[in-house]
Amino acid sequence: MMNYVKIYIVGLVLFLLIDAVWLGVIAKNMYKQYLGYLMGDVVWWAVIAFYLLFIIGLEYFCIVPALKAGSVLQALYAGALFGLITYATYDLTNQATIKGWPIMVTFIDLLWGAGIGAIVSALTVKIALLLKI
């Protein structure tokens, strides 16, 4: 029987580590460059809620079905689609409603959402299969 809490924790830790590198190192200047005029203080409860909910979605829609199928590749594809759709919800809504929202941010975020969804789902499944959790 799968231990959903352990699987959730694995996915959450992976997501936090990977996204910290993305936000803190790789894309840090990009967001300041394109969105600096919109940026304010971080609203931490919203950040925490996003991370917790995103991993619930990954686990429910991508990770658990892939574990049941025993397929890391299924997790990769499903995670990419889930990440693309969830990040598109945010960015395309902003694109449609915020005057001057940079198309480059939308494009990069859609790629990032697909990438991190795919990576976290596939790695979580791989780890869960190896550790038999």
Express each pLDDT in 5-34 by its tens digit: 999 999 999 999 999 999 999 998 999 999
Is residue 66 scored above 70 in pLDDT? yes
Own/partner long-range contacts of 109-112 (Cβ < 8 Å, ≥24 apart): 110/84, 112/22, 112/27, 112/83, 112/87
At residue 29, what is the residue type? N
Helices (H), 3-102: 4-21, 28-35, 44-58, 64-69, 72-97
Is residue 2 scored above 90 in pLDDT? no
pLDDT at 14: 98
- The pLDDT of 109-123, averaged and rounded, is 98
pTM: 0.94
pLDDT at 18: 98
CB 124 within 8 A of CB 71: no
